[in-house]
Amino acid sequence: MSDDRKPFRAGGKPGFRGNKKFAGKPAPRRPGLPPEGPVLLYGLHTVEAAFANKDRKRLKLFATENALRRLEERGVKIDVPVENMMPRALDRMVTKDAVHQGMILEADPLPAYGPEHLKGARLILALDQVTDPHNVGAILRSAVALDADAVVTTERHAPEEGSVLAKSASGALDMIKHVRVKNMGRFVAEMKDQGFGCIALDSDGPASLEETPFTEKTVLVLGSEGKGVRQGVREACGLTARLDMPGEIRSLNVSNAAVLSLYVARMKMGL
């Protein structure tokens, strides 16, 4: 396992280091666009989900003839101008080794979702300064698969909603509310005021997640690559729990820890 994605240690301290390659860097954009301008989304599932999302403002599709045919076969309604391009021309629009599958969609970033968009939610996954876009993307995908209502990240020390995150999420970025908050501790406190039980995952938690009491509405909080859930956020949650691993390897990547946590939560909540 590479140094930039150290495992979540269920029986010891969480051990991650941020992905320095991507931290703080803007998502790829078409040459000539300003840094705050539209993003480029690529890959079949990512592009398909972006076309299906009514909240996504789409601008232009760059695609090969084969890619257009695949989208049409999948029933995707293309409602933007299309520029037919050769694969090598598409290669030059994105980062090296990006798997675009013959299609790149130029689109505006999603609207800025906030806590006010969580009305009716029951199961929320919050990430306290998790910085690796590949991990966050995988977590978004798992959250959709396990029918969570939203994924919450901090505005700082978290990947922006750009192409690396979108590709890692394989369409999930456009299928679930990704809420960004300025202060995770304050967000947790607000959720508790709204009747949510908030549980911080911590390797030193007094009980396993399976033994921890759940309420009808729950926020699960997973910590950052380096420090785990920060002390102030843990204190705001009030409850901490650990993930116990029965096997010889007693560590999980944070994205795997998220899957297991969501699964346990669903079982405990009867969802």
Q: What is the pLDDT of residues 211-251, one digit of tens each?
A: 999 999 999 999 986 789 999 999 999 999 999 988 887 77
Instruction: Report, in this order, helix, strand and coil percent for the chain, each rounded to 5.
Output: 35, 20, 45
Distances (CA, A) of 152 to 49, 78, 117, 216, 236: 20, 30, 11, 19, 16
Q: Tokens 């609207």 belong to which residue? A: 111
Same domain, 125 and 258: yes
In a domain? residue 201? yes
d(CA 16, CA 256): 13
In a domain? residue 17? no
Number of domains in the chain: 2
In a domain? residue 182? yes
In a domain? residue 213? yes
Residue-level pLDDT at 180: 94
Same domain, 158 and 260: yes
Same domain, 134 and 170: yes
Same domain, 184 and 144: yes
Q: Which of 84, 107, 130 is the last residue of a domain?
A: 107
In a domain? residue 26? no
Same domain, 135 and 248: yes
Our measurement of the distance from residue 100's CA atom to the centroid of its chain's CA atoms, rounded to an integer in Å, reads 20
Q: What percent of the chain has pLDDT over 90?
A: 74
In a domain? residue 25? no
In a domain? residue 32? no
Q: Is the dihedral of CA 206, 191, 6, 147 positive or negative?
A: positive
What mean pLDDT is predicted for residues 103-123?
94
Same domain, 83 and 130: no
What mean pLDDT is predicted for residues 248-263?
89
CA angle, 249 then 168 then 80, to 5°: 170
Same domain, 126 and 66: no
Same domain, 76 and 147: no
Q: Which of 92, 107, 122 is the last residue of a domain?
A: 107
Long-range CB contacts (within 8 A, 24+) of 23-30: 23/131, 23/159, 26/160, 26/162, 27/160, 27/161, 27/162, 27/163, 27/164, 27/165, 28/93, 28/94, 28/95, 28/98, 28/162, 28/163, 28/164, 30/93, 30/106
pTM: 0.83
Same domain, 151 and 73: no
In a domain? residue 254? yes
Q: Which residues contact 232 (CB under 8 A, 6 or more apart)?
A: 185
Same domain, 84 and 123: no
**Of 264 and 161, which is predicted with more confidence?**
264
Q: Which of 64, 86, 107 is the last residue of a domain?
A: 107
Residue-level pLDDT at 7: 45
Chain mean pLDDT for the chain: 87
Same domain, 210 and 176: yes
CA angle, 105 then 108 then 109, to 5°: 110
Our measurement of the distance from residue 270's CA atom to the centroid of its chain's CA atoms, rounded to an integer in Å, reads 24
Is residue 36 scored above 80 in pLDDT? no
Helices (H) and strands (E) in the chain, counts: 8, 12
Same domain, 116 and 222: yes
Structure tokens at 208: 């396993």
d(CA 25, CA 2): 20
Domain hosting residue 61, numbered range: 39-107
Phi, psi of 252 (to 5 degrees): -135, 145
Return the CATH number at 137. Answer: 3.40.1280.10
Confidence of residue 25 (pLDDT cuts 50, 70, 90): very low
